Amino acid sequence: MIDWSAFLLVAVVALVSAGALVSVYSLGLRLLAAEPRTTLATAGARACFGLCAVGVLVGIWLIVPALHG
């Protein structure tokens, strides 16, 4: 009647992807606030935000059917 395996898959994928996105963004913010602000910290923060941007692009790719057929 109800597809529990599909539901579990949805729940786990949502949990992992939301957790990952939020963690990476938080880490980026954390690095930005590091004192003293080293070059390494700044580069790390930029890498984190870049990763988040990729996440957003994946989201758009998933939303627009023309992009993934």
Partner 1 sequence: MHATDAPELTAVHPGARLPPVEIALLVVLVIVVALFFDFTNGFHDTANAMATPIATGAMTPRVAVTVAAVLNLVGAFLSTEVAKTVSGGIIREGDGGVQISPAMIFAGLIGAVVWNMVTWLRGLPSSSSHALFGGLIGAAVVGAGLASVDFGVVLSKVVLPALLAPLTAAVVAYTATRLAYAITRRHGERSERGGFRYGQIFTSSLVSLAHGTNDAQKTMGVITLTLIAGGFLTAGAEPPLWVITVCALAIALGTYTGGWRIIKTLGGGLTEVKPTQGFSAEASTTATILASSHLGFALSTTQVSSGSIIGAGLGRRGAKIQWGTAGKIVVAWFVTLPASAAVGAAAALVASLGAVGLVVDAVAGFAVVGGIFVLSRRRPSEQQSAMEVDLAATSVLSRRRVRRLERRGLLDEPTGGVEAPLLHLDDRPADERPVGTVVPPAPTDDEEPSR
User: Which residues of the chain form contacts with partner 1 (CB under 8 A)?
Assistant: 1-3, 6-7, 9-11, 13-15, 17-19, 21-23, 25-30, 32-35, 52, 56, 59-60, 62-66
Of 6 and 39, the one with the shorter C-beta distance to partner 1 is: 6
**Could you give phi then psi for residue 47, rounded to 5 degrees?**
-60, -40
Q: Is 34 helix (H, G, I), strand (E, B) or coil?
A: coil
Q: How far is the CB of 47 from partner 1 (least distance, A)?
A: 15
Cβ-count burial of 54 within 10 angstroms (0-12 exposed, 13-18 middle, 19+ buried)?
exposed
Q: Of the candidates 32, 11, 24, which has an alpha carbon nearest to the alpha carbon of residue 50? A: 24
Between 39 and 68, whose beta carbon lies closer to partner 1? 68
Pick between residue 21 and residue 47 the one whose CB is nearest to partner 1. 21
